[in-house]
Amino acid sequence: MLETDINTVDLIIEARWIIPGAPRGILLEHAALAIAQGRIVAILPIIEARQRFHALETVSLPTHALIPGLVNLHTHAAMVLMRGLADDVPLMAWLNERIWPAESHVVSDRFVHDGTLLACAEMLRGGVTCFNDMYFFPQAAAEAIDRIGMRACLGLAVLEFPSPYAVDADDYLNKGLAVRDELRDHERITTCLAPHAPYTVSDRTFGRLMTYADQLGLSLHLHLHETLDEIAQSEAQYGLRPLQRLVGLGLMGPNLLATHCVHLTPGEIETLAAQHCHVAHCPSSNLKLGSGIAPVASLLAVGVNVGLGTDGAASNNRLDMFSEMRMAALLAKSAGDASCLSAAQALEMATLNGARALGLEDRIGSIEPGKIADLVAVDFSATEMMPCFDPISHLVYVAGREHVSHTWVAGELRCEHGVHVGVEQMELKEIARLWQGRLKQFHR
Amino acid sequence: MLETDINTVDLIIEARWIIPGAPRGILLEHAALAIAQGRIVAILPIIEARQRFHALETVSLPTHALIPGLVNLHTHAAMVLMRGLADDVPLMAWLNERIWPAESHVVSDRFVHDGTLLACAEMLRGGVTCFNDMYFFPQAAAEAIDRIGMRACLGLAVLEFPSPYAVDADDYLNKGLAVRDELRDHERITTCLAPHAPYTVSDRTFGRLMTYADQLGLSLHLHLHETLDEIAQSEAQYGLRPLQRLVGLGLMGPNLLATHCVHLTPGEIETLAAQHCHVAHCPSSNLKLGSGIAPVASLLAVGVNVGLGTDGAASNNRLDMFSEMRMAALLAKSAGDASCLSAAQALEMATLNGARALGLEDRIGSIEPGKIADLVAVDFSATEMMPCFDPISHLVYVAGREHVSHTWVAGELRCEHGVHVGVEQMELKEIARLWQGRLKQFHR
């Protein structure tokens, strides 16, 4: 782990605690991180770091835990502009009667740029350094992400029906692939193919997507088994549950990320494990839309890689991974086992498991030498964080996103005490005001 | 609602929104509150307030919602010193192997004073103005509550087995009644009798408590049907479920507050309704200890008065009523109905229903002329609160306790931007450090 002579690095972060995230449950006290060219060079005791490294900048975090940047494994970032537009409404009515009509009226590249910028600002403030997005106009999302300096995987949305973005599945796919070509050398933005859901995508389109996924080495990201309605509809239309249909189409595999998976038979859980699929668990959104509680303990027990997502702010209504960690850990215990889904495991789901699902586990998701320095400092000095017997447990059960003090992406400070680098609060507020005005007619 | 000529009042609060809490769902825009001698004199448009009242002090809240102070209907305040001492452990092991041994070692009047002060500070910062406590050394709790200026109902704990506070049930009861006598004229502190739970209190003791409750006009507060274990144990010992046993003893009635009620038969739900009992719902604690999910929708449907509680910080691990409102509203939808337990109803549970359960609904729980001015300002100006189509929905689904800017108790400002009146942060931190040192041997 250590270099021999004195080396110059860009940044040393000295922290009360470092929680590297891997191996699970490890806690380092009075530890330092050396960072050069955006990557982690060494993790070592503070005293040794001072002897072995000369740093251009040193950040001291005497009451903080330094953790890996959080990975929001499923969201629709731009929908933050519809936060609270339709609350206490079930999924299908929420989509058909509220969200889709509003989207058809307002969605544009400007909407997506503005919404994504506001969402990124919220996520960075709350310790999220990377998110997996699924929405329209991905080029506009990429511009916003670039400006604020976040990491993201952009899901290139594909569905059969028209929107302000595209007229049919081929149009979605062609536009998406063009964006993928533009972004292929981007350092912080990757892309994946995002067929919306089995109920909005035909067999023919799934077939085309599989071909592109294979040829271009792209993963697939979709909504799956979110509601009982969706399953009943598929059984009526195809004589198959959606997951069975995907099996038949040959879609299951290690490059498939299935979001929600609320309603699963034991056999389907086995299939997800055997096929090495990844699952994005969105506990708050699943509750809020009345979808139910995903069988996360069972998925984890058979080795499925499960990460955490906020879903869009229109169904959460926060883009807050601290809330999701806490909710996931608490909700998994609802079946009666208080030892199920420990705090350390919830943190792993929100970091390394998310990175793994995005194919980024060799670059992010834990604090290890050689990995990119996507980092978050959480301040434990507030009285509501005291006393503290176990900082990992406190991260999940006590801390909120308001305790995040610093967020770095690739070793660059992107947010400090709620203030972003390169984006003014005034601009964000102006964006929110503008779109609130345009959307309020859809609130009732 | 209005006075005629110009009146001098102590305080005018002008707010972007006032959410009075009663009737449910009402939202007043650009409204003002006139307060004199700790009580609400009038609610009226800001322009009218400026014409009709002369105020010694005016507070302007241009981006805020003013709401009734939150009522934490069940907690063990001093246990905040054991926050995170035993996580991911089920209730009975948590009690028998972790909490009770630690308590027998450290609990004293000093422990209770210090813990209650730290807990009150956390609650006031997070918008809680009143709490219903159940713990040992209530006189020491009262001293802390007095210092920080909060409102509370102190449950005078009674159980059969010894603790550092008392040797047997009679000793608990006698000590409790002495405290009750000392506090009987206190403006902000009331008392109730708090038999811990059916599994720790004998029939004989319940009988004595009922006599005192009747004679002194005190209500009864206990834990009930928190776990399946508790029910099985009662069936083995008494041949009755705990609630049936209480029915037999004649305990059920409008002065009974039952906490948890996670496991209830339809008949038991009917009994709680028919007997006009009150229920304290503690959703986070019930999940965290693996107890389960209380049938809140069913309780509300038959008219049971259900309030919200955090439980102690040793099983939550926050004293955060914003978290509980959100959790209650989300969790009630887990059965599949997204319209169940709306945001407005969750707010009502956290305010007026709590006040009603404590017999204080004519004094607190809503913003109405004549009621005491227990008030909380929530700042909506942060970008993570934007856009905003419905402030009541945002309070529950978007806001966190970190957005609380001001907390008043009886018209007195007790906390502003996280800073308490009369208690220094340094003292609170010293308290946490002291007891962390004494308790750490019980953490493993």
B91 versus B74: the higher-pLDDT residue is B74
- Closest residue in chain A to residue B313, using alpha carbons only: A398
CA–CA–CA angle B342, B343, B348 (5° rounding): 95
Pair A377, A405: CB distance under 8 Å: yes
pLDDT of residue A95: 86
| Chain B residues closer than 8 Å to A88 by CB | 338-339, 342-343, 393
Residue B426, C-beta contacts closer than 8 angstroms, at least 6 positions apart: none
Residue B325: what pLDDT? 98
Largest CA distance in chain A: 69
Beta strand pairing status for B128-135 and B70-75? Answer: parallel
Q: State the average pLDDT over residues A350-374.
A: 98
Phi-psi region of B239 (alpha: psi -120 to 50; beta: other; left: phi over 0): left
Q: What are phi and psi of A391, to 5 degrees?
A: -60, -30
In one-letter notation, the amino acid at residue B108 is: S
Residue A169 has pLDDT above 60, yes or no: yes
- A228 and B83 within 8 Å at the Cβ level: the answer is no
- Residue contact A84–B339, C-beta within 8 A: no
| pLDDT, tens digit, 9 for 90 and up, residues A278-311 | 999 999 999 999 999 999 999 999 999 999 999 9
CB contact under 8 A, A318 and B397: yes
Q: Is residue B340 less than 8 Å (CB to CB) from chain A?
A: yes
Determine which of B386, B419, B423, B441 to mutate to test the interface with A (most A C-beta atoms within 10 Å): B386
Verify whether the Cβ–Cβ distance B389 to A339 is below 8 Å.
no
Q: With an 8 Å Cβ cutoff, are B342 and A88 in contact?
A: yes
Contact residues, A window 124-183, toward B, CB-based 8 Å cutoff: 125-126
Which residues 107-126 on chain B approach chain A with CB closer than 8 angstroms?
118, 121-122, 125-126
pLDDT of residue B4: 53
Q: Which of A285, A193, A207, A287 is nearest to A245 (CA)?
A: A207
B331, B337, B398 member nearest A83 (Cβ): B398
Task: State whether B336 and A228 contact (CB < 8 Å).
Answer: yes
* Per-residue tokens: B441: 């041997």
Q: What is the pLDDT of residues A127-147, one digit of tens each?
A: 999 999 999 999 999 999 999
d(CA A244, CA A238): 10
Is omega for the bond preceding A90 within 30 degrees of 0, making it cis? no
* pLDDT higher at B97 or A384: A384
Looking at beta carbons, which residues of chain A come within 8 Å of B383? Answer: 118, 121-122, 425, 428-429, 432
Mean pLDDT score, B49-66: 97
Q: What is the mean pLDDT of chain B?
A: 96
Q: How far is B181 from chain A (nearest CA, A)?
A: 33
| CB neighbourhood size of A100 (10 A) | 14
pLDDT category of residue B5 using cuts at 50, 70 and 90: low
Q: Which amino acid, one-letter code, is at A245?
A: R
Reported as half-sphere exposure (CB side, CA atoms, 13 A), residue B115 has a value of 33
Instruction: Name the pLDDT band for B164 (thresholds 50, 70, 90).
Output: very high
Q: A81 and B387: CB-CB below 8 Å?
A: yes
Nearest residue in chain B measured CA to CA from A339: B88
Q: Who among A121, A288, A342 is closest to B383 (CB)?
A: A121
**Four-residue CA torsion sign, B182, B185, B186, B188:** positive
Residues A282, A357 contacting (CB under 8 angstroms): no
Q: Is the Cβ of A27 closer than 8 Å to some Cβ of chain B?
A: no
Residue A2 scores a pLDDT above 90? no
Mean pLDDT of A226-241: 97
Of B125, B383, B390, the CB nearest to A87: B390
Q: How confident is residue B203, by pLDDT bands cut at 50, 70 and 90?
A: very high
Residue A4 binned pLDDT confidence (cut-offs 50, 70, 90):
low
Question: Residue A320: which pLDDT band, with cuts at 50, 70 and 90?
Answer: very high
Let me know: does A410 contact A36? Beta carbons within 8 Å: no
**CB contact B444 to A (< 8 Å):** no
Q: What percentage of chain B has pLDDT greater than the value 90?
A: 95
Nearest to B429 among A292, A343, A383 (CB): A383
How confident is the model over B119-124, as a mean pLDDT? 98
Distance from C-alpha of A190 to C-alpha of A216, rounded to nearest angstrom: 12
Which whole number is the average pLDDT over B133-162?
Answer: 97
Q: What is the pTM of this model?
A: 0.97
Do A389 and B289 lie within an 8 Å CB cutoff? Answer: no
Q: How distant is the Cα of B428 from the closest Cα of chain A, in angstroms?
A: 7
| Residue B312 contacts A where some CB pair is shorter than 8 Å | no
Which among A136, A401, A134 has a CA at the least distance from the CA of A280? Answer: A134
Q: Do B88 and A293 touch (CB under 8 A)?
A: no
**Is a pLDDT exceeding 70 seen at residue A380?**
yes
Question: In chain A, which residues have their Cβ closer than 8 Å to the Cβ of B429?
Answer: 381, 383, 386
Our CA-based measurement puts residue A80 at a distance from the nearest CA of chain B, in whole angstroms, of 8
pLDDT of residue B74: 98
Q: Which residue of B has its CA nearest to A391?
A: B84
**How far is CA A3 from its chain centroid?**
34
User: How close is the nearest chain B Cα to the Cα of A379, in Å?
Assistant: 14
**HEC readout, A116-134:** HHHHHHHHHHCCEEEEEEE
How many other CB atoms are there within 10 angstroms of residue A438's CB atom? Answer: 14
pLDDT reported for residue A89? 84
Nearest to A383 among B122, B338, B397 (CB): B122
Core vs surface per residue B8-45: b (16+ CB within 10 A) or e: ebbbbbbbbbbbbbbeeeeebeebbbbbbebbbbbbbe
> What span, in angstroms and rounded, lies between the C-alpha atoms of B259 and B226?
8
Say whether pLDDT at A3 is over 70. no
Could you tell me the two tokens for A299? 């998925």
Residues B219-241: tens digit of each pLDDT: 999 999 999 999 999 999 999 99
pLDDT over threshold 50, residue B410? yes
Q: With CA atoms as reference, report the closest residue to B291 among B257, B264, B267.
A: B264
Give Cα A285 to chain centroid, integer Å.
13
As for the ipTM of the complex, it is 0.96
Query: From the centroid of its chain, how far is CA A409?
Result: 14
* B388/A436 CB distance under 8 A: yes
Q: What is the pLDDT of residue B3?
A: 47
pLDDT for residue B136: 97
Contact A339 B89 (CB under 8 A): yes
Task: Report CA-CA distances (Å) from B171 to A25, B110, B156, B341.
Answer: 45, 20, 11, 42
